[in-house]
Amino acid sequence: MLGQFRMLRIALATAFLAPVSGLAADGGFCVENAADHAYLFVAETREGERRVATLQPGELLCSGTTAATDGVVNVFESADALEGCGRILAKGETERFVAYAEFDRCEWGAHGS
């Protein structure tokens, strides 16, 4: 019984993780927190669907499916921050967030390419 419960937990965890990582390919866009601190991220489609999450290092946030060719990702130091950094992402793209700096001067993975 305990083995079956463990297998069910693994299957459910996999089912919940798969759609999050697959959304960029399925008509959305994603951002990965590649920084060494947790930050508040917002992924917003042009249709106005907004997803908000505090991401720990290595975590991923994806937007919902969008009919537009792009959307916007914003990152804030915390929920109380007034200023943050924004980036336009193409549909299907996953961008790496590297380092936070106030007033829209953050470092993104694409800057290093």
The whole-number pLDDT of residue 112 equals 61
Structure-model confidence comparison of residues 112 and 88, the more confident one: 88
- Given a cut of 60, is residue 107 above it in pLDDT? yes
pLDDT in tens, 46-100: 999 999 999 999 999 999 999 999 999 999 999 998 889 999 999 999 999 999 9
Contact indicator for 73, 86 with CB cutoff of 8 Å: yes
User: The domain 23-112: what is its CATH number?
Assistant: 2.60.40.2890
Task: Sketch the domain layout of the chain as residue ranges.
Answer: 23-112
